Amino acid sequence: MDVAFQHWSASWPVLIAYVLLAALHLGGFRETLTALAPDTTRRQLGREAAVFQLGLVVIVLAVVSPIGYWSGVYLSVRACQELLVAVTGPALLVLGAPWAALRLTPRGLTPGGLTPGRLAPGGLAPGRLVGVLARPVLAVVAANVVWIAWQLPALADAAHGSALGRLAEYATCVAAGVVFWLQLISSRPITQPSAPLRRFALLAGTVVASTVLGMVLVFGANRLYPAFAGRAHTGMTVVQDQQLAGGVIWMGMLVPLVVAGVALLMQWFSNEDSAELAADLDRLLAGPRGWPSRPVHR
């Protein structure tokens, strides 16, 4: 029990960024609610705001809690921290759809990105952010490059002994995670132009990349991270620790990616069923000529 109350870190840059972002989001959320009337819309916005705030808390706790301390000692704990900072936290941020509350919606939308009585449809107007998001393959590849780069021994060892390096790692991983998830899931008012099956292919590519990285660490017999071979590293060798870290990356990445993959497949099947139903209705409305003729039995 003592471990849970020890080694909490007051990382002031992280805490300041958290307070500012959380306050800005809550302020914008309050302004958005004042412009709405229906209870259904309010409940949806409330759920989204709670999910976004939860994402912020997950990221902050991964840095300032004992996870942040032990991530500088054990590679396996560092891998857990990476999953929270780069994958789980950003996924919650995107699901929380904070763009209207953070005043990041484009010109032309009403305050808060909403019109009274209904959620704003459609996507964002062209802009710098949308220019990046409009290239899903490039965005997903860039996110994977950022994640994998911080697992390279040179960058991992450099960030291990530098507070500035760790902050750069956290910031880039969060940004990469947000860009990655924006390619896969809707985050009102941002919508994806890509079909669900194409997004599933991007997801599958990420699964392959994380699996290969995990396998390299799991089956590696050489010590790749000498900076972690300190006195505090006890109970297992660095090689064993990095093998365990590979397993965490390998299996840990599968959980959110498989969940997202199942959701995309369900969306694809739903779209296919809807398209078939629409085609049947079109043939029905077209009259007898729209249906194939049947043989007449005499």
133 and 139 in contact (C-beta within 8 Å)?
Answer: yes
> Any residues with CB less than 8 A from the CB of 100 and at least 6 apart, and which?
28, 32, 109, 112, 113, 114, 120, 188, 189
Closest CA to 42 of 121, 112, 90, 103: 112
> Any residues with CB less than 8 A from the CB of 235 and at least 6 apart, and which?
none
Q: How far apart are CA 161 and CA 43, in angstroms?
A: 45
Q: Tokens 């004992």, residue?
A: 66
User: What is the per-residue pLDDT for 119?
Assistant: 37
Q: Collapse the DSSP code of 124 into the 3-class scheme (helix H, G, I; strand E, B; otherwise coil) and give the result.
A: coil
User: What is the per-residue pLDDT for 80?
Assistant: 95
* Amino acid letter, 46: G
CB burial class (10 A; 0-12, 13-18, 19+) of residue 34?
Answer: exposed
List Cα–Cα distances, 167 to 164, 214, 281, in angstroms: 5, 24, 56
CB atoms within 10 A of CB 86: 27
Q: Tokens 């390299």, residue?
A: 216
Mean per-residue pLDDT pooled into runs of 10, the chain (298 residues): 65 91 91 66 86 96 90 91 95 92 59 36 43 75 94 89 90 95 85 80 93 92 84 81 93 92 85 54 53 51
Give me the phi and psi of 97, to 5 degrees please. 45, 65
131 and 215 in contact (C-beta within 8 Å)?
Answer: no
Q: Collapse the DSSP code of 8 into the 3-class scheme (helix H, G, I; strand E, B; otherwise coil) and give the result.
A: coil
User: What pTM, to 2 d.p., does this model score?
Assistant: 0.80
State the DSSP code for 99: T
Q: How far apart are CA 272 and CA 11, in angstroms?
A: 49
104 and 52 in contact (C-beta within 8 Å)?
Answer: no
CA angle centred on 20, ends 17 and 26, rounded to 5°: 135
User: What is the per-residue pLDDT for 147?
Assistant: 94
User: What is the per-residue pLDDT for 123?
Assistant: 40
Q: H or E stretch including 94?
A: helix 89-95
Tokens of 207: 């699964």
User: What is the per-residue pLDDT for 180?
Assistant: 94
